[in-house]
Structure 1
Amino acid sequence: MHPFLFSSQKQEISKENHLEPYAFFHCVIPINTPNVLLHWHVEAELTYVHTGSAIYQVGEETFYSHEGDLIFVPPNTLHSIYPVPGTTHISDTLVFHLDLLGYSIMDQCTITYLRPLFNGALNLLSHMNKEHPAYKELLPCVKDILNCVTTKDFYFELLLKEKLHHLFYLLFKYNCITETNVTKSTSLHMDKIKKALQYIQDNYKEPITIIQLANLCHFSKTHFMSFFKQRVGISCAEYIIQLRLRIAADLLRTTDLLVSEIALESGFQNLSNFNRQFKCYYGVSPKTYRNNLLTQ
């Protein structure tokens, strides 16, 4: 599991990996991560659910996932995953840029299919279960795609491109990609949420007030708090805490910084509060969390 995937709102595949514009993630919720906070990225996302259930938000749609489901996230779309109490959710996800399908080459395929999808003029079905008419054809294709990036056999890059093209062919064939019917009001609300999330991401080390975020969105404090919780699923204050804790967990995994230094780096001004919040969220203290990683 790539820790960066769960610690930032606007996410991109590493620029060091530009020759392979994709990333694979095996996600176990809540064991690997308690949840996946609302975020977006310029890449598309394809997920196969192995087992369990979770609550997904993809754009304006919220749904429960189940074993065998296929989940699709278009580029630049806000999405999140929250656990179902008492259930472990295991899934495989491929995050890939449309460059893998030739997005940068201006031909008829790009103009007709890829550019409209990237720009939001086309809407991609977010959730497909076993009852969907396209499922029987799509499932083997999705499994082949995930197998390509996990086994990396000889010439797999060519096969991956072929399978991704076939995937989108099937999505269009079964009308899983349609013209977008998004109102101006909905689009404006999404832009405001993205602006607030980006501000939190850019300033998480500093004190952030609800008034600052409300002013950024040109809302009153009360309206912003209600608006944020309705769109994100949790309160703004809780979101900020969870983001800071994710960043702290990343630092515990990837650095040798002292716990007190990590607390400051992740935006907590009080060490005891950091320890308390971390244990509440991850079930163990920061020190135990790091020690457990060392013994794995």
Structure 2
Amino acid sequence: MVKECFMKIDSEGRELVSHGSPSFPCACYHTTSRQGDVPWHWHQEFEVIYINSGTVRCSAGDRRFLLQEGDAVFINSGVPHALFQRLGNSYDEHDIVFHPRLVYGEVGSVFYDKYLLPLLRCSALPGLKLSSEIPWQKEAILQIRQAISCFLEEQELFELSLRNALSSFCGIIWKENQNIIGPAALKPPASMDRVQKMLDYFHAHYQDPISLDELSAQANICKRECQRIFKSVLGLTPSQYFEQYRLSMSVSLLLGTDESIIDISGKCGFQSPSYFTKLFRKRYGITPSRFRAAQVPSSTLS
């Protein structure tokens, strides 16, 4: 069964949704631009995203991708990632989130030691854009589409067919990236660890005013280094990240609750409702109230 994707994350940015079940740790989601941006989050599962139509920007760790119809992206385990709409553009995508053990079976197996563990440990591969213009990537995309079809059709033996498709996909990624996937554990760069500490703090306190001094203190660095790390890892200044994240949270509240614009503004950490409306219009080209009216009928809010 394919589910609509609505994000719930904890104070550390980890997604709270359980993907699949303990016996079958895999789920498929359908997301469209009407749901707004997908905010920064992370999980232990692999994720593959296929763009059915439109254009969307994807960030995975320090990587930035512009995804168009027919493109796909692989996101490694534990990597912070997000999707951002481009102003005036819509998109429609399916994504599959699956725990690597669906492929390797159990720790100590040849599938784990030889293939999945090196991929899991590869900090040089936080995310990978896939295009049908490159033959091996086209084959990887075909496996993703096959996996999505398994969820859409749910025919007899679909679990086996799905596992086969995802195993083939992981095999292709492993084979074609041997130059960066090594047998030894690769230590994540210090900048990634520092930015994760700062993100954890922000996610826990984004409803309140947060100064650059507070943020940099979480990683025991100066303000200038804080700004440099944010820019190098996330491609954003701290203030730009704060703004994007808070706007993403506001979209979730606009779509999922009947709370007032004033209350949503305060809950998302904006200085005032007018400032919130100004930033929202700048990013999405529409006011929060008009966005809510256009996206969700009032009868569906509870």
Please report the TM-score for the alignment, with normalisation by the length of structure 2: 0.80
User: Which of 216, 226, 231 is 2:218 aligned to?
Assistant: 216
Hey, what does 1:18 align to over in structure 2? 21
In the alignment, residue 291 of structure 2 is paired with which amino acid? Y
Kept after mapping to 1: 8 A contact 2:216/2:223: yes
SS at match of 1:4: coil
Q: How many Å separate the matches in 1 of 2:227 and 2:124?
A: 31
Give the Å deviation of 1:97. 1.6
Contact 2:48–2:72 (CA<8 Å) still a contact in 1? yes
Distance in 2, matches of 1:290 and 1:55, equals 23
Identity of aligned residues (%): 25
Change over 3 Å in CA distance of 1:46–1:15 after alignment to 2: closer
> 1:143: which partner in 2?
145
Shift in CA distance, 54/291, structure 1 to aligned 2, threshold 3 Å: closer
Pick which of 144-153 and 173-182 moved more: 173-182
Q: Identify the match of residue 244 of structure 2 among 226, 242, 245.
A: 242
Q: 1:61 to 1:239 in 2, by over 3 A?
A: closer
- Distance in structure 1 (CA, Å) of the matches to 2:65 and 2:276: 32
State the SS of the aligned residue for 1:247: helix
Shift of 1:111: 2.3
Match of 1:275 in 2: 277
Q: Partner of 2:6 in structure 1?
A: 3
- Give CA-to-partner distance per residue, 1:161-203, whole Å, 9 cap, x none: 121112223333444684259986x611111111111111111
Distance in 2 between the 1:88 and 1:294 partners? 19
Give the conservation status (yes or no) of the 8 Å contact 1:12–1:43.
no
Between stretches 209-218 and 36-45, larger displacement belongs to 36-45
Alignment size in residue pairs: 293
2:196 aligns with 194
Is the CA contact (8 Å cut-off) linking 1:6 and 1:37 kept in structure 2?
no
Q: How does 1:171-182 map to 2 (within 5 A)?
A: 171-175=173-177, 178-179=180-181
SS across alignment from 1:237? helix
Greater length-normalized contact order (CA 8 Å, ≥ 6 residues apart): 2
Whether 1:207 aligns to 2:205 is no
Deviations 1:71-94 (A, max 9, x none): 211111233444556654443221
Structure 1 residue aligned with 2:166: 164
Distance 1:123 1:291, change over 3 A: closer
Separation in 2, partners of 1:5, 1:126: 24
- What stretches of structure 1 of length at least 5 have no aligned partner? none
The CA deviation string for residues 207-234 of structure 1, in whole angstroms up to 9 with x for no partner, is: 2111111122222213322331232122
What SS does the aligned partner of 1:127 have? strand
Seen in structure 2, the aligned counterparts of structure 1 residues 287 and 169 have a Cα distance that, compared at 3 Å, is same
Whole-Å separation in 2 of the counterparts to 1:124 and 1:32? 25
2:43 paired residue number: 41
User: In the alignment, residue 242 of structure 1 is paired with which amino acid?
Assistant: Q
> Which structure 2 segments of 5+ residues have no match?
none
Deviates more, 1:50-59 or 1:191-200: 50-59
Deviation at 1:8, TM superposition (A): 8.4
Q: Is the 8 A contact 1:12 1:42 kept in 2?
A: no
Query: Do the aligned partners of 1:27 and 1:90 also contact (CA within 8 Å) in 2?
Result: yes
Q: 8 Å contact 1:25–1:93 — kept in the other structure?
A: yes
- TM-score normalised by length of structure 1: 0.82
Determine the structure 2 residue equivalent to 1:233.
Answer: 235
Q: Distance in 2 between matches of 1:218 and 1:157?
A: 47
Q: Is the 8 A contact 1:7 1:243 kept in 2?
A: no
Deviations 1:97-150 (A, max 9, x none): 213224554422222222332233784771232342413433332211111123
